[in-house]
A and B are shown apart, each in its own frame.
Chain A
Amino acid sequence: MRGGCVGIISEEPTSPTNEVVMTPHNARERITETEKSAAPRADDSSSSRESQEAMTGTTLEQALLITNPNGFHLRPAAAFAETARKFQCQVTIRKDSTTVNGKSPLDLLVLAAAEGTELILEVSGADAEAALKALVDLLTTLEVIRT
């Protein structure tokens, strides 16, 4: 398992409407990995690698500092949920004491995360690593965060 899996997008951002104030990157990145105890699953009979991974859930966590002046607004929230839904793992975002489902646009909007807000993204499950990378890449492309 790789450690920091933060993707760097080299292309120019394609967002046509957002003006983004470029600020020095100071997002704290915190990636933790915990092995959860194996949970029984319906497909226990399979001995494939995928099944093995599904049984040992991986939890990854990363801090996200919102750098877009418009905050984590509707468009990135919808895109985030759409991407999160492509993965089996659980995706949650935490702001202070509020934790919401990362697969629901309405939940994400409840965070009202303005510029300067720090959120904690947590992904948990078999495809957690790929999900974390895809979601962080997406937020970077949409200029919600800087990596």
Chain B
Amino acid sequence: MRMVDFVVRDAIIPKLTANTKEGVIREMVESLRHACHFQNTEPEDVVKAVLKREQIASTGIGRGVAIPHAKHDCADHLICTVALSPQGVKFDSLDGEPVHIFVLLISPTDKPGDHLRALEKVSRGLRDDNLVKQLRQATTSEKIWDILGQADDHQST
């Protein structure tokens, strides 16, 4: 599994307009919906599912990174988008720092293995300081897509 296999290219947001946790999640879910239609689901349902997960514990795992996610049957396979916030968003992160890189994962309820493998791929990439630096400097969806692809290539070598 590669990141470019589950990240929806047309849903990438190089510069978020939202500056709150809920706003970021809503903007990312809307972007995913525009790029790949949800099955029989209102986007607000997905927003609620992601926010419900955030209420249990923040997915802001430090280093300026958050991986909001939910299991939802709006998708029959794992879908994901990446968004950047140059100014950073308060996200109740583990280290208290604002989040600049968001990775939203929506996985079908019956595929926990795919969800774990996607988390692995994303984590492997975001452990790399150089990748994080490159992502934070990216200003276009194309550039973000290229960086993700390069990270995939790097991981497979």
Contacts and interface: CB of A to CB of B under 8 A. Distances in A.
Interface of A: 16-17, 69-75, 77-79, 81-82, 104-107, 109-115
Interface stretch (B29-37, B53-61, B138-146): B53-61
Contacts of A74: 59, 61, 67, 69, 119
Contacts of A79: 57
Contact of B61 (A69, A105, A111): A105
Secondary structure call for the B interface: helix
Interface of B: 52-53, 56-59, 61-63, 65, 67, 69, 94, 112-113, 115-117, 119-120, 122-124, 126-127
Q: Which 10 A-B pairs have the closest CB atoms?
A: A112-B120, A109-B123, A105-B61, A106-B123, A70-B112, A109-B119, A112-B116, A71-B116, A106-B127, A110-B123
A81 B63 CA distance: 13
A19 B132 CA distance: 34
A17 B56 contact: yes
Contact of B53 (A17, A77, A113, A114): A17
B117 A78 contact: no
A77 to B, nearest CB: 8
